[in-house]
């Protein structure tokens, strides 16, 4: 099954908790702390696999999760890191976040992109020993891994795109010029699977051809899933209009060409600017080849290179293979599509005044307040709220960071309840 658009949720592994332990040696029954750090959680990684041309293998699950890191051990042993989760995607996969912002365009084989980073492991109690704290009875909890909703969109990467109405012979042509073996039948409705074929036209040269399912009028508006297929042509270098020159089924090749050109232009100006050639198929059905010559002249007068072929008999196929290779080698990216990354680069200078403060105190109701902010989020994610020593450490850090001064500035009355990370405290002046 061909799938080129899919939404999934990815979740990186949580970091393992730090350990609380003490040496238990023969002559040191209450030795110093030796709790080890927790292991980091695994990442979720997207990796390009050139053997794939669909996203269908990712449609079975809604959530993909990496492994969590393991808890730290005694004797200072660090917990095992969580295993990364690698999701293979085909070349040409574009990654979007939940807002629709493009994160990356994955085109190079074997390239990788970390879409969700694993949480850092918590520090064991051995890390908190100091001259004034000889036996810390707390450790940090591991941080949660990143969690994201993403959309993957595939745009096939090919050098040549074959376009045309259904049943004009595109599938047969790609089967003749490459090793691709698409399903071929004489039906009048469009197929639903693009086909890719590698064409070897010289001893050391090759190119990729995409047989895009037959287009119909209104394709740019979604008729016959046309808008889904047209975007696969945006990465091609050359478009080859495949026309049924014989008119056997009552179609006029000149009219077909105009309609397909209009669909391309209506969908994307970029498509209409790509180099285009005309392939007149089914010329074997003509008794009088003068009609073929007149058709060729019509399109040549319009500035197009024209190649008469018969996909069934093989007539003209070798010439078409070679000429497509030549055109690809001569291809130059149109000026309007060239990215001048250095010239167009926008450098954004952060406005620190707009950043969220480390500590925020919000009044929820009378004599009830909540402390939020980036610092609170970091501390809460790494504090075992069931451990009194760990909670006291969290409050000590908040006090050092100015929480009491902020509460005083807010004129919070003595006896009010202050909520921090799910725990409630009485505020006493």
Provide the pLDDT for residue 299.
94
Contact status, residue 243 vs residue 166, Cβ threshold 8 Å = no
Residue 190 annotated in ligand binding: yes
Tokens 């390009």: give the residue: 48
Q: Check whether 189 is labelled as a binding-site residue.
A: yes
Q: Which of 29, 104, 40 is nearest to 72 (CA)?
A: 40
Give the tens place of pLDDT for each residue, 325-373.
989 888 765 544 444 433 333 333 333 344 456 788 888 888 888 888 8
CA distances from 290 to 245, 283, 325 (A): 12, 11, 28
Q: What sign has the CA pseudo-torsion 323, 329, 330, 334?
A: positive
Query: What is the distance between the alpha carbons of residues 125 and 32, in angstroms, rounded to a whole number?
Result: 10
Antiparallel, parallel or unpaired: β 423-427 and 416-420: antiparallel
Q: Is 211 annotated as contributing to ligand binding?
A: yes
Is the pLDDT at 230 greater than 80? The verdict is no
Lowest-confidence segment of 3-12, 70-79, 219-228 by average pLDDT: 219-228
Annotated binding-site residue? 284: yes
What ranges do the domains of the chain cover?
Answer: 1-154, 160-337, 352-427
Residue 311 assigned ligand-binding role: yes
Is CATH 3.40.50.300 what the domain over 160-337 is classified as, yes or no? yes
- pLDDT digit string (tens) for 276-293? 999 999 999 988 889 899
How far apart are the C-alpha atoms of 82 and 39, rounded to whole Å?
Answer: 7
Residue 273: is its pLDDT beyond 50? yes
Chain centroid to CA 200:
31
pLDDT in tens, 172-190: 898 888 876 655 544 444 4
Q: What is the DSSP string of 310-359?
A: -TTT-TTHHHHHHHHHHHHHH----GGG---HHHH--PPPP-GGGSPPS-
Determine if residue 312 is labeled as part of a ligand binding site.
yes
Cα Rg of the chain, angstroms = 32
Q: Which of 38, 31, 36 is nearest to 135 (CA)?
A: 31
- Contact of 298 with 256, CB cutoff 8 Å: no
Residue 257 labeled ligand binder = no
Ligand-binding site membership of 193 (annotated)? yes
Q: What is the mean pLDDT of residues 396-402?
A: 83
Residue 3 counted as an annotated binding residue:
no
169 marked ligand binding residue: yes
Among residues 290, 291, 324, the alpha carbon closest in space to that of 307 is found at: 324
Tell me if 114 is assigned to a ligand binding site: no
* The pair of three-digit structure tokens given for residue 294, joined into one six-digit string: 């007149």
DSSP 53: -
Residue 343 CB partners (closer than 8 Å, separation 6+): none
User: How far apart, in whole angstroms, are the C-alpha atoms of residue 157 and residue 2?
Assistant: 15
Q: Does 89 belong to an annotated binding site?
A: no
Is the domain spanning 1-154 CATH 2.70.210.12? The answer is yes
Note the pLDDT of residue 38: 94
- Average pLDDT for residues 250-270, to the nearest whole number? 85
Structure tokens at 190: 């469009």
Share of the chain above pLDDT 70, in %: 83
For the residues 85-102, what does the mean pLDDT come to? 91
Asked if pLDDT for residue 191 goes beyond 90, the answer is no
Side by side, which strands form the sheet with 85-89?
A: 85-89, 44-48, 112-116
Distance CA 23, CA 183 (A): 70
pLDDT at 311 over 70: yes
Residue 341 has what pLDDT? 39
Residue 167 in marked binding region: yes
- Taking the CA atoms of residue 154, residue 155, residue 157 and residue 163 in that order, the dihedral angle to the nearest 10 degrees is 130
Superfamily of domain 352-427: GTP-binding protein OBG, C-terminal domain (3.30.300.350)
Tens of pLDDT, residue by residue over 2-18, are 567 899 999 999 999 99
């Amino acid at each position: 099954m061909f799938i080129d658009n899919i939404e999934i949720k990815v979740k990186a592994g949580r970091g393992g908790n730090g350990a609380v332990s003490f040496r238990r040696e023969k002559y040191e029954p209450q030795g110093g702390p030796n709790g080890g750090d927790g292991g980091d959680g695994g990442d979720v990684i997207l990796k390009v696999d050139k053997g794939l041309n669909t996203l269908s293998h990712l449609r079975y699950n809604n959530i993909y999760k990496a492994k969590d890191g393991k808890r730290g051990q005694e004797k200072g042993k660090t917990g095992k890191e969580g295993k990364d989760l690698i999701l293979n995607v085909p070349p040409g996969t574009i990654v979007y976040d939940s807002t629709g912002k493009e994160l990356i365009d994955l085109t190079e084989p074997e390239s990788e992109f970390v879409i969700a980073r694993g949480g850092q492991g918590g520090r064991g109690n051995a890390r908190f020993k100091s001259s004034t704290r000889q036996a810390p009875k707390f450790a940090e909890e591991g941080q949660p891994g990143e969690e994201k909703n993403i959309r993957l969109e595939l745009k096939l990467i090919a050098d040549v795109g074959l376009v045309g109405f259904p049943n004009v012979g595109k599938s047969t042509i790609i089967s003749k010029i490459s090793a691709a073996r698409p399903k071929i039948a004489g039906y009048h409705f469009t197929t639903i699977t693009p086909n890719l074929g590698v064409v070897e036209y010289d001893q050391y040269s090759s190119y990729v051809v995409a047989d895009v399912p037959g287009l119909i009028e209104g394709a740019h508006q979604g008729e016959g899933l046309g808008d889904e297929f047209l975007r696969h042509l945006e990465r091609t270098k050359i478009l080859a209009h495949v026309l049924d020159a014989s008119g056997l089924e009552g179609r006029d090749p000149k009219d077909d060409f105009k309609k397909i050109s209009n669909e391309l232009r209506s969908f994307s100006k970029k498509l209409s600017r790509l180099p285009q050639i005309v392939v007149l198929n089914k010329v074997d059905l003509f008794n009088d080849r003068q009609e073929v010559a007149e058709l060729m002249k019509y399109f040549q007068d319009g500035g197009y290179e024209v190649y008469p072929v018969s996909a069934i008999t093989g007539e003209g196929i070798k010439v078409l293979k070679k000429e497509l290779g030549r055109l690809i080698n001569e291809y130059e990216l149109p000026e309007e599509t060239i990215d001048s990354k250095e010239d167009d680069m926008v450098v954004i200078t952060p406005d620190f005044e707009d950043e969220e403060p480390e500590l925020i105190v919000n009044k929820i109701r009378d004599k009830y307040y909540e402390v939020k902010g980036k610092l609170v989020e970091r501390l809460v994610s790494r504090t075992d709220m069931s451990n009194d020593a760990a909670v006291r450490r969290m409050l000590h850090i908040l006090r050092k960071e100015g929480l009491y001064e902020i509460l005083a500035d807010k004129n919070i009355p003595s006896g009010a309840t202050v909520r921090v990370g799910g725990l409630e405290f009485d505020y006493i002046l």
